[in-house]
Amino acid sequence: MRIGFDAKRAFNNYSGLGNYSRYIISNICRFYPENECFLYTPKIVDAELFNEPAGTIIGKPGGFWKTSGSLWRTFRLTQRLNKDAIDLYHGLSNELPYGIQKSRAKSVITIHDLIFMEHPELYKSINRNIYEKKVRSGTRVASRVIAASEQTKQDIIRFLNVDESRIRVVYQGCHRQFYSRVSEETMQNTHQRFALPSEYLLYVGTIEERKNLLKIVQALHHGNFDFPLVVVGRKTAYFNQVKQFIERTGLSNVYFLDQVQASDLPAIYQGSSGFIYPSSYEGFGIPVLEALNSGVPVITSRGGCLEETAGKGGLLIDPTDQEEMIHAIRQVLETSALRDRLIREGGAHALKFREEQTIPSLYNVYLECMHD
């Protein structure tokens, strides 16, 4: 089978969608090497971000389209798929190229989340309209729709009116680097490079409103915790609210790490006393899975997909309830029996998301499409 992938984010995105794209492409090629895999991207900004699997074929625009990569990806790619005789194309990030339903290729689209429809107030209207148009078009013409979680599946049905029979839930996974303990030397080196405290609570994720970092620092302040918080994530305008609260209250033990590489994360996770991720809405929540695989107790949000991701390895809270968050932090930091249980049950739950489980499930969806 000739499989085409939307590889734009695999080659050019450092965060969630990029990680997912790299995970899927690498593992499909590793588990099913009998296929030919074509990776389509309008550009490659950082050649070191993704070491594409051996034998894959990279498709990029030529001529006029070199300067209009986004247009090529949306309006010209279907023609390229026909030229390359692609049997199945996987849109890895909420969209498919225009006209793909008229090509010979079957198509699969992954929907990670519909945050822009659940919380439209968080997006500029022009961006929200573009996202909605792409996701409606893609889910309408795709042979199958992949939902990142049961929660996302229900959102797809509710917002997009997609027939349930065309939707398959295939969970995401995290990088294999989180499966093993780092060496003592690596741990010490990482702590020194980032000047990490000896003990700390950890947050990893984009610093944006729905992920509730401000609520975390407010809970630490009002709970009178003399315990460091380490924050790893890209800053948005919301960061200023967090910074202002920290400065106003005199919190002195919140550490914002910069220049963190993906390879640094296992040691940062494993060196923490607990991981906190009280997001109001996610499509899946890969940082929670990274923490579970790292042997760290997790505090996360009750309900939705984060409860699916954390399983019994998570201490679940209402992110809007400050007292509940304070109580959960205190339990994780002070109750060793609870910590041990969360780590043990979290590690067992994380096995559900290993690529030995997720990739065959995804490949079965590919085969379904081909047999339609």
The CATH number linked to 215 is: 3.40.50.2000
Query: pLDDT grade, residue 48 (50/70/90)?
Result: confident
pLDDT in tens, 102-149: 999 999 999 999 999 998 998 899 999 999 999 999 999 999 999 999
16 pLDDT higher than 90: no
Dist. CA 370–CA 372, nearest whole Å:
6
Q: Mean pLDDT across the stretch 51-67?
A: 93
Which pLDDT belongs to residue 14? 81
Which pLDDT belongs to residue 262? 87
Adjacency order of strands within the sheet including 167-169 = 57-59, 36-40, 2-6, 88-91, 106-111, 144-147, 167-169
219 pLDDT higher than 90: yes
Alpha helices in the chain (DSSP H): 8-12, 16-31, 69-71, 77-83, 115-118, 125-141, 150-160, 184-193, 213-222, 239-249, 265-270, 286-293, 304-310, 322-334, 336-350, 355-371
C-alpha distances (whole Å) from 145 to each of 3, 95, 117, 139, 140 are 16, 11, 18, 6, 9
Percent of the chain with pLDDT over 90: 93
15 and 96 assigned to the same domain: yes
122 and 101 assigned to the same domain: yes
341 and 363 assigned to the same domain: no
Q: Percent helix, strand and coil across the chain, each rounded to 5?
A: 50, 15, 35
Which pLDDT belongs to residue 288? 97
> What count of other Cβ atoms lies within 10 Å of the Cβ of residue 360?
13
140 and 207 assigned to the same domain: no
Number of domains in the chain: 2
104 and 194 assigned to the same domain: no
Q: Which two structure tokens, joined as six digits, stand for 232?
A: 């790893």
> What count of other Cβ atoms lies within 10 Å of the Cβ of residue 196?
20
351 pLDDT higher than 90: yes
Dist. CA 245–CA 212, nearest whole Å:
13
25 and 154 assigned to the same domain: yes
304 pLDDT higher than 90: no
Structural domain range at position 299:
176-353
Helix (H) or strand (E) holding 119: none
182 and 319 assigned to the same domain: yes
Q: Mean pLDDT across the stretch 5-15?
A: 93
Query: pLDDT grade, residue 367 (50/70/90)?
Result: very high
Query: pLDDT grade, residue 156 (50/70/90)?
Result: very high
Task: State the Cα angle at 255 between 250 and 256, rounded to 5°.
Answer: 115
105 and 150 assigned to the same domain: yes
Dist. CA 25–CA 6, nearest whole Å:
10
Average pLDDT, the chain: 96
188 pLDDT higher than 90: yes
321 pLDDT higher than 90: yes
pLDDT in tens, 272-293: 999 999 999 998 999 999 999 9
Which pLDDT belongs to residue 32? 98
Query: pLDDT grade, residue 217 (50/70/90)?
Result: very high
Q: Mean pLDDT across the stretch 242-256?
A: 97
DSSP character for 74? I
77 and 159 assigned to the same domain: yes
Which pLDDT belongs to residue 47? 87
Strand partners, 299: 276, 315
292 and 189 assigned to the same domain: yes
162 and 204 assigned to the same domain: no
Which pLDDT belongs to residue 59? 96
Which pLDDT belongs to residue 15? 78
111 and 200 assigned to the same domain: no
Q: Mean pLDDT across the stretch 177-190?
A: 97
